[in-house]
């Protein structure tokens, strides 16, 4: 029975992939801006002496990214890169968040309305912007003050300077939503110390600003109360020299001390548990660790894993592992395949079920399909990583014309 189900899944994956993602071609391939009040208000711009600041401006939605925002960011950064009067670029968020990631509810609604094309366009535009950010020719400063979640981290972490504060909260919650860490997450998470990246991707645990400095996700730390002074200093700079910007950021930096209860003080245990090849083995290792140590951390990690989508956990683990040996553009191309498969529902509707349970109905009781690890076949997982059909182009990035900063 299991083999028959797996075969049927693979058959549908191959035969329907093209039609499922491309049968809505009547819709424009461009973002539908009509649904937004004013595109320019979603990402505002501040002009400075010899720099520009892009401000994510959807505070009521924690600056969650929609199609219009991703497209505007891409246009702005391309024009600023070509402008010789601009020395460097800064990005920040308005309100209590830097960026809470992709607007998952908007994507959920788009697909339910039959507009798969615009949903696909969002991922294409977003990932292309992440690549621009990772290969940007000018210095970039991202001020990650407040919530920095999922794709919100993806649009900032590839840049040159990442400033965090005592208000910063970094998290990749995708497996709890039936999705996968994307927007370059398989690149930067896979390069964290030991198997910390796997732990963060699978459990959705949070890091604060000090922890981001300690594991080198961030480059500078300052107190939230001093941000106005830091920004004022940066705004007066007339330079395109990274060393000058670095000096200014360091001048207003604060000393950081890692809390003894931080996950970074448990890296030996993290490596022992999350270095295994399968999710089942990781869970077994955590259960053994919990029995031997009575550590509450193990119990919490186990709870998170058991709440997440089994299929998403397996797909995410493989994605992070492959990311260890790939460049940023290769990671984005793979993540694009996974994301398009997730919204196609060819194998599973877990993404939509996760969004429904956590963000729409908020019953926090998702019904995952498949419901257990033993029912996730290799063919199901392979479907997420296999090339797209001839009717659906792969993600095309200008790798030949750009020298990646993050190689």
CATH code where residue 228 lies? 3.90.226.10
Q: Supply the angle between the helices 328-344 and 2-22 in degrees, to the nearest 10.
A: 100
Least confident of 51-60, 213-222, 246-255: 246-255
pLDDT digits (tens, 9 = 90+) for 3-13: 444 445 544 45
The Cα 210–Cα 225 span in angstroms is 16
**CA dihedral (256, 246, 99, 44) positive or negative:** positive
Structure confidence at residue 399 (pLDDT): 85
Structure confidence at residue 101 (pLDDT): 95
pLDDT digits (tens, 9 = 90+) for 215-224: 999 999 999 9
Structure confidence at residue 25 (pLDDT): 30
Residue 11 lies in a domain: no
Least confident of 23-27, 64-68, 155-159: 23-27
Residue 35 lies in a domain: no
pLDDT band, residue 403 (cuts 50/70/90): low
Structure tokens at 294: 């009575």
Task: Please say whether the beta carbons of 324 and 190 come within 8 A.
Answer: yes
Structure confidence at residue 254 (pLDDT): 78
pLDDT digits (tens, 9 = 90+) for 160-191: 999 999 999 999 999 999 999 999 999 999 99
Structure confidence at residue 7 (pLDDT): 43
Q: Which residue range(s) make up the domain with 95?
A: 43-385
Structure confidence at residue 298 (pLDDT): 92
Number of domains comprising the chain = 1
Residue 16 lies in a domain: no
Place of tokens 């600023």: 80
Structure tokens at 303: 């709870």
Residue 392 lies in a domain: no
Residue 323 lies in a domain: yes
pLDDT at 38 over 90: no
Report CA dihedral (307, 311, 317, 323) to the nearest 10 degrees. -130
Residue 231 lies in a domain: yes
Residue 1 lies in a domain: no
pLDDT digits (tens, 9 = 90+) for 115-149: 899 999 999 999 999 999 999 999 999 999 999 99
pLDDT digits (tens, 9 = 90+) for 59-81: 999 999 999 999 999 999 999 99
How many H-runs (helices) and E-runs (strands) does the chain carry? 18, 10
Residue 402 lies in a domain: no
Instruction: Report the percent of the chain where pLDDT is more than 70.
Output: 90
pLDDT digits (tens, 9 = 90+) for 87-118: 999 999 999 999 999 999 999 999 989 889 99
Task: Please say whether the beta carbons of 274 and 198 come within 8 A.
Answer: yes
pLDDT digits (tens, 9 = 90+) for 294-346: 788 999 999 999 999 999 999 999 999 999 999 999 999 999 999 999 998 88
Mean pLDDT of 355-374: 94
Would you give the DSSP letter of residue 207?
A: E
């Amino acid at each position: 029975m299991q083999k028959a189900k797996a075969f049927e899944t693979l058959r549908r994956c191959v035969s329907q992939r093209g039609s499922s993602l491309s049968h809505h071609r009547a819709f424009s391939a461009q973002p539908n801006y009509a649904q937004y009040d004013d595109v320019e208000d979603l990402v505002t711009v501040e002009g400075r002496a010899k720099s520009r600041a892009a401000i994510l401006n959807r505070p009521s939605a924690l600056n969650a990214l929609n199609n219009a925002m991703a497209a505007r960011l891409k246009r702005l950064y391309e024009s600023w890169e070509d402008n010789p009067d601009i020395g460097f670029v800064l990005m920040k968020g308005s309100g209590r968040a830097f960026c809470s990631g992709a607007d998952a509810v908007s994507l959920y609604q788009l697909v339910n309305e039959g507009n798969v094309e615009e949903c696909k366009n969002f991922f294409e535009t977003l990932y292309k912007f992440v690549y621009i950010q990772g290969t940007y020719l000018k210095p970039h400063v991202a001020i990650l003050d407040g919530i920095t979640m999922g794709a919100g981290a993806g649009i900032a972490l590839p840049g040159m300077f990442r400033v965090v504060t005592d208000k910063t909260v970094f998290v990749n919650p995708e497996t709890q939503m039936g999705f996968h860490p994307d927007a370059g997450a398989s690149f930067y998470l896979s390069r964290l110390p030991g198997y910390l990246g796997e732990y963060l991707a699978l459990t959705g645990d949070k890091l604060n600003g000090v922890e981001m400095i300690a594991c080198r996700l961030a480059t500078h730390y300052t107190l939230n109360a001093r941000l106005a002074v830091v920004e004022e200093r940066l705004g007066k700079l007339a330079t395109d020299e990274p060393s000058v910007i670095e000096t200014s950021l360091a001048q207003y930096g604060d000393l950081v001390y890692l809390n003894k209860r931080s996950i970074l003080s448990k890296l030996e245990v993290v490596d022992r548990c999350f270095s295994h090849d399968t999710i089942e083995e990781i869970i077994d290792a955590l259960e053994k660790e919990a029995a031997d140590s009575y550590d509450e951390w193990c119990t919490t990690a186990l709870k998170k894993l058991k709440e997440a989508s089994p299929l998403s956990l397996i797909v995410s683990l493989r994605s992070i592992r492959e990311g260890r040996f790939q460049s940023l553009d290769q990671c984005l191309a793979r993540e694009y395949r996974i994301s398009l498969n997730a919204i196609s529902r060819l194998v599973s509707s877990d993404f939509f079920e996760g969004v429904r349970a956590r963000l729409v109905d908020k019953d926090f009781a998702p019904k995952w399909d498949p419901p257990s690890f033993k029912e996730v076949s290799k063919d199901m997982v392979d479907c997420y990583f296999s090339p797209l059909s001839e009717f659906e182009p792969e993600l095309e990035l200008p790798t030949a014309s750009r020298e990646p900063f993050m190689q």
